[in-house]
Amino acid sequence: MVGRFLWSSPLPNFPQMGDKPVAMDDRYCGIINKYYPMSVAIRSILAGSCLLFCLNLLSAQSTPPPIQFIFDGSGSMWGDLEGSTKIEIAKAAIAEISQEFSADQALGLIAYGHRRERDCTDIEALLPITNTDQEQFLAAVRAIQPKGRTPLAQSVTLALEQLRSQGEAATLILFTDGIETCSGDLCALVEQAKAEGIEFVLHIVGFDLGEANRQPLQCAANAAGGLYLDVADAAGLQAALSRTTQLTVDEGEASLAVRVTKDGELRDAVIKVYPAASKEDISRARTYTSDQTNPAYFNLAAASYDLEVWLVGERGIPHQWRRDVIISGGDTTEVELDFSTGSMSILVQENGALHDAKITVTPVGAERAVYSSRSYTGERSNPHLVDLLPGRYRVELSSIRIEGRDNEFVFEEVIVAPQETTEIGHEFASGILLIGSRKDGELVDAVVSVRDATGRVDQGRTYAHADSNPRSFRLSPGTYEVLLRGLRLADDPERTLTVTVEAGQTTERTVDW
């Protein structure tokens, strides 16, 4: 390499790797002069070598590393989205982010599925990774016409072969609207390339993937020290492409690793990353349950971040937050979130029988409930079992059938410990009040309002039918005022009764107009 001077004899204060030669720069030229007097001619040669080395070093620092786009030309890119086709949206996003590139940015382009249908070998290097003609790059992108399949692994193989043959380090950006359709193993391919020492970062942008399994894509991005970004619209695609072009190979690999477990096992979870104190997430990933994707890796700038994490498909387990996670240069910050749970068994009864009640569970001191359901009256759901993170909880029970001031009960603090079951229970008391309405021995329609000291508790109508007259009310034990208003009777008569309801008892009163 021009400007790189090799010296095989040891010099004072020179960095050594055994007997390997070392590179020279301007810091060492003075050392040579001090310890090794030499002729003016030799000194001039060495000074020139040092100067050329420094110039090359500055040039290498100012030239951005190449970016290799691997572009989706599969037939599904003709799909409609937001009133346009996905291929049109993608081309527009590429054109927009190209304005962010410096004039000397090298842009390679590989396209797959753009020439032939049902052909897994339809992969073409449209532009070499050394290309710096951005107009030519945009023209090549605009010319892509989707037709075929999605050979992701083979497409990345072509990109890696270019890096291997040229000894080049590059940022690879794989853009796809689908998963592998040609039986390749993208994650294994990337792992092998990393093991070989090929220097690259692979970012993957999944565009409108729907219900597709993203695990292989997440795995490959993790293995390559890059990002997997899942987007569903034009704005998201442009933001994702812009971000991945900024996280280049010279930025280093992932700076945050988040592992999610529960009861000692890897668990499928969604992770959102927010700049500290921000409400807008800047990155997200899914861990799945494989050690290839769990932990999930994020490439982030040095700063403070907040993490929001929740388990996929696990009801009753609240989101976990990890605040002020510090990312600094150098080592990867490792975070583990453990969702190991305890459980709460809630027995709800009424007069000795299983009872239906609404159950609301809220962490002590919090405003938002983490669980809400019903106990019902079947043995499969009552006692009601709830998995919860360890902590202190407020549990509110609201009877579905009983009216009155004692139809709710609150446990102010229930402690849940890891991998233990805390049993609680409450028995509601109730009595039945029957109110009939008659005139001259015949059933008469009436409006019935039941009140206590706090106001109206319940109401209904007797109608003139035996199945509703007398009218039945299920009430908490206590004394009530019952107001009846006869319907279709002269002068709209009213009658007030004072009635005491006892637990487990039926009390009946009839008004004879």
* CA distance to 114, 129, 234, per residue, from 80 (Å): 18, 31, 12
pLDDT at 396: 98
Those residues whose C-beta lies under 8 Å from the C-beta of residue 278, and which sit 6 or more positions away, are 306
The strand pairing partners of 415, in sequence order, are 392
Q: With contact defined as beta carbons under 8 Å apart, do 145 and 114 qualify? A: yes
* CA distance to 14, 253, 334, per residue, from 20 (Å): 12, 28, 35
How far is 116 from 130, CA to CA, in rounded Å? 27
455 dihedral zone (left: phi>0; alpha: psi -120 to 50; beta): left
pLDDT at 315: 73
Element (H, E) at 483: strand 478-486
168 backbone dihedrals φ, ψ, rounded to 5°: -100, 145
Of the candidates 464, 511, 507, 503, the one whose C-alpha atom is nearest the C-alpha of residue 483 is 511
How far is 367 from 437, CA to CA, in rounded Å? 46
Number of C-beta neighbours around residue 314 at 10 A: 14
pLDDT at 314: 83
Those residues whose C-beta lies under 8 Å from the C-beta of residue 4, and which sit 6 or more positions away, are 23, 24, 49, 53, 56
Of the candidates 108, 104, 99, the one whose C-alpha atom is nearest the C-alpha of residue 67 is 108
Residue 24 tokens read as 């020279």
The end-to-end CA distance of the chain, in Å, is 113
Number of C-beta neighbours around residue 41 at 10 A: 8
Residue 201 tokens read as 């970062």
How far is 319 from 192, CA to CA, in rounded Å? 36
Residue 84 tokens read as 């346009």
Element (H, E) at 164: helix 152-166
pLDDT at 158: 97
Local mean pLDDT, 10-residue blocks, the chain (513 residues): 32 37 41 43 48 47 86 96 96 95 95 95 96 96 96 97 91 96 94 94 94 91 90 93 87 82 94 92 91 90 92 83 87 92 95 97 91 95 93 96 94 93 97 96 96 92 95 96 94 94 96 94
320 backbone dihedrals φ, ψ, rounded to 5°: -105, 145
pLDDT at 25: 41
Q: Look up residue 216 and give its amino acid.
A: P
- DSSP class of residue 268 equals -
Of the candidates 265, 336, 255, 327, the one whose C-alpha atom is nearest the C-alpha of residue 298 is 255
Residue 181 tokens read as 């359709």
Of the candidates 352, 356, 415, 401, the one whose C-alpha atom is nearest the C-alpha of residue 381 is 356
How far is 450 from 259, CA to CA, in rounded Å? 57
How far is 385 from 469, CA to CA, in rounded Å? 40
pLDDT at 132: 95
Residue 216 tokens read as 């292989």
Locate all alpha helices (DSSP H) within 63-133, ordered by sequence.
86-97
- DSSP class of residue 367 equals S
The strand pairing partners of 258, in sequence order, are 296, 335
Residue that is written with structure tokens 């605009």 in the block: 142
How far is 468 from 407, CA to CA, in rounded Å? 23
353 backbone dihedrals φ, ψ, rounded to 5°: -110, 160
